[in-house]
Amino acid sequence: MTVQSIETVKSLIDEMQANGEEVGSAWEYVNGMNNKKMFTVFTANQFCDMHCSPSVKQPKQIWGGGKFLGEYADLNHQ
């Protein structure tokens, strides 16, 4: 699912986990069609197409292994 804010990513992940759905990964990227920063969340059983989608620029994984990564790691404690 593609969203426009990190707050929505956090809410989605929290909701998915509360419903017993495993989160596979979450990403930040630049949308090549409008040059806006976007986010996307994949369930564990979804194919992650971040590296093969022509409209994805500068993909950066921000969730993996059950936690937020990098600059978003502080969201693990909220």
Whose structure tokens read 């590296």?
A: 51
DSSP H or E segment with residue 12: helix 6-18
- Asked whether the beta carbons of 39 and 59 are under 8 A apart, the reply is no
Q: What value does the mean pLDDT take over residues 1-30?
A: 96
Q: Which pLDDT tens digit goes with each residue over 18-53?
A: 999 999 999 999 999 999 999 999 999 999 999 999
Quick one: pLDDT at residue 77? 83
Query: What are the boundaries of each domain within the chain?
Result: 2-77
- Give the global pTM: 0.93
